[in-house]
Structure 1
Amino acid sequence: MSYFVGIDAGGTHCRASLYDDKARLLGSGKAGPANVFNDFASAMQQIEHAISLAISDSKIHTDSSNIVVGAGCAGGQTALAKEQLLKWRHSFKQFYMISDLHASCFAANKGDPCIVIITGTGSSIAHYQASNVAQYGGHGFFHGDDASGAWLGLSAVKLLLKSYDHIVRDDEFCSVISKELELDYPPSEANKAKHIDAILTRFKLKRATDYAVLAPIIVDLYKSDNKTARTLLEKGRDYLISVLQANKLSSDKPIFITGGLASTYQPLLAQQLAQEINIMQGSAQEGAMLYARLQAD
């Protein structure tokens, strides 16, 4: 018997789900960050680890030669990742790689046309139709990912630093962010330089995931009606809407949203667009598995 594994590999974690040949879920596993564009070798190690954990969770006895893998990967649409995949030696029966957006599209509307918005550590929007995916955004932390968890975290750090120059005045917001960074707020004039140095040192050479840990805190501040947090999330909402409207994506197809910030952005988008925005129910792992089944048949 062949088994199928669906992978959701992103900037924060890698999830694997093991299915039988009837698409029944048997087991799941979770490993670390796996962006195939940023670090292909590390991403594949995490993918293999997540699959191993899923097999263990299922309690079945099989080896990788009986497993067909569908991997929905952040960065999986890039030429560099595809080139590295061709060179990668693996022991699986078959291994198919698509972008995490592509996998989410399969899961969102069971292969029918749709729009998918991803708002997790990174952000991107996909238009799925006739088995083709047009991607908007998703260019990575340094070159985009507006509205994402990493973008929120970076924005918060910038605002905190600006508060030291008396440009930003929101003691509640800055105090909560400072507490997460293990700093007092406001600092005395004598300690201000030490605080700035501590922040710059903490985030030196950090990745998107290191900034994204601040996103849940910003969401909590937004829920308590903090003005600065609300402004940030509305700015993220407006960016997502601008992409939808500039590319005429918000009218004739169902829109789904997924990712750690989905439940926060969903009502903001629905109200502004005056149309239904659906929280995606199917997982990206399921979508990647369905893609692999189609390719293997």
Structure 2
Amino acid sequence: MVKYFCGVDGGGTSCRARIVDEQGHFLGEAKTGSANILLGVELAMASIEDAISQAAHQAGISDLSEISVGLALAGAEQKSAWLDFMSLPQPYGHFTLNTDGYGACIGAFSGENGAIVIAGTGSVGIYLENGNQHVVGGREFPISDQGGGAVMGLRLIQQTLLAHDDLRATSSLSEYVLTHFDHDLDAIVSWSKTAKPRDYGQFSPKIFELAMQRDELAMELLQGSADDVERLILGLNRKGASQIALMGSIGERIVSWLSPAAQALLVQPKADAMAGAILMASGDHNLYPFPR
């Protein structure tokens, strides 16, 4: 018998789980590693189970079958990955899965109509309107996810290599990257063969830091990401969204780089993606993330 609800927000960098009781009272919360199912469904499940176990331990819950789980995960928009993930064994009383964007949008507007743009490691825009969802972007790194930290980091690596070859001016930021790799270009090439989105995204804090110090490359990269985020915002507006919550580690810090027109559309989210996933776990707002 289900007695508890757990909301899970999983992206390319981290996975967070929050457990509440039937009255919505907070019981426990934990954070673990990547839960993007396109990076491996078993890896994602391991992160999710670890986060839920830690949160359940805080809550004093020993029987995991008493928990209904709502999952808002990056990569869930791809049908084959969704099916592979949902076929894995799991110990919970109920289990539902949609995208991280869907969970964030449900949380941001408490299940009502509204739109969000997430810019974290990746990016996506979603507009929920009377049970219908309109999605822009979010087709995963490297072919999509513009405005996210991974694409920003990829562009940084590209521009650093150009600077090294005297094809553009060097800067404190490009020197920082070269120092990170001990000025070994072969090391950069080898790293790139196995680097995950979160590995590229690790450079975004330094980009923000040096942009504030007027580093030319950092400002160029940050403005490029802001332009990408703005494209998602205005795209949702053209689909009918008049209130858009900007969320994620990049989105929350990039507002001042957006145009006044884009900033005028922004509103504060009411709650986060874990709150949205808890609504999913309770049996509300369970659309499929892809055409069936």
Task: Give the TM-score of the pair, scaled to structure 2.
Answer: 0.90
State the match for 1:62 in structure 2: 62
- Per mean C-alpha deviation after superposition, the further-off stretch among 268-277 and 111-120 is 268-277
What is the CA-CA distance between 1:20 and the residue it aligns to?
0.6
State the partner residue of 1:187: none
Equivalent residue number for residue 290 of structure 2: none
Letter in 1 for 2:205: P
Asked if structure 2 preserves the Cα contact closer than 8 Å seen for 1:266 and 1:277, the reply is no
My pick for the range that moved more, 36-45 or 235-244, is 235-244
Q: Deviations over 1:42-66 (max 9, x none)?
A: 21121111100101122x2331110
2: CA distance between counterparts of 1:273 and 1:238?
A: 10
Larger radius of gyration: 1
One-letter amino acid of the counterpart of residue 21, structure 2: D
In structure 1, the partner of 2:30 is 29
Paired residues for 1:204-223 under 5 Å:
204-223=193-212
Match of 2:142 in 1: 142
TM-score (norm 1): 0.89
Gap change, CA 1:86 and 1:145, over 3 Å in 2: closer
Q: Secondary structure at the match of 2:156?
A: helix
1:161-187 per-residue CA deviation (whole Å, 9 max, x = no partner) reads 00122111033222222233343xxxx
Shift of 1:213: 0.4
Q: CA deviation at 1:241?
A: 2.4
1:247 is displaced (CA, Å) by 5.2
Q: Aligned pair in 2 of structure 1 residues 293, 270: CA closer, same or farther (>3 Å)?
A: farther
Contact 2:233-2:262 at 8 Å conserved across structures:
no
- Residues 124 and 167 (structure 1), Cα distance of their counterparts in 2 relative to 1, 3 Å cut: same
Q: Deviations over 1:70-118 (max 9, x none)?
A: 0101111221133224422222110011111110011111112112111
- For residues 252 and 98 of structure 1, what CA distance do their matches in structure 2 show? 21
Report the AA paired with residue 160 of structure 1.
T
Query: Contact 1:269–1:277 at 8 Å: present in 2 too?
Result: no
User: Residues 19 and 246 (structure 1 numbering): CA distance in 2 closer, same or farther, change over 3 Å?
Assistant: closer
Please tell me whether residue 52 in structure 1 is matched to residue 61 in structure 2: no
Q: Helix, strand or coil for the counterpart of 1:140? A: coil
Q: What whole-Å deviation, never above 9, does each CA across 1:224-244 have from its counterpart, x for those lacking one? A: 122221111211222222334
Of 269, 282, 288, the match for 2:277: 288
CA distance in 2, matches of 1:111, 1:85: 25
Could you tell me how far apart the structure 2 residues matched to 1:269 and 1:49 are?
A: 37
Match of 1:267 in 2: 256
Deviation at residue 250 of structure 1 after TM alignment: 7.8
Counterpart mapping for 1:1-297 below 5 A: 2-58=3-59, 60-183=60-183, 195-246=184-235, 248-249=237-238, 252-269=241-258, 271-280=260-269, 282-295=271-284
Given the superposition, is the C-alpha separation of residues 90 and 202 from structure 1 closer, same or farther in structure 2, using an over 3 Å criterion?
Answer: closer
Q: Give the % identical residues.
A: 26
SS at 2:49's partner residue? Answer: helix
Give the distance between the partners of 1:255 and 1:120, measured in 2 at CA: 16
Aligned partner of 1:191 in structure 2 is none
Task: Give the aligned CA root-mean-square deviation in angstroms.
Answer: 2.1
Change in Cα spacing, 1:243 to 1:117, as seen in structure 2 (3 Å) is closer
- TM superposition outliers: structure 1 runs of 4+ over 6 Å: none
Structure 2, gaps ≥5 residues long: 287-292
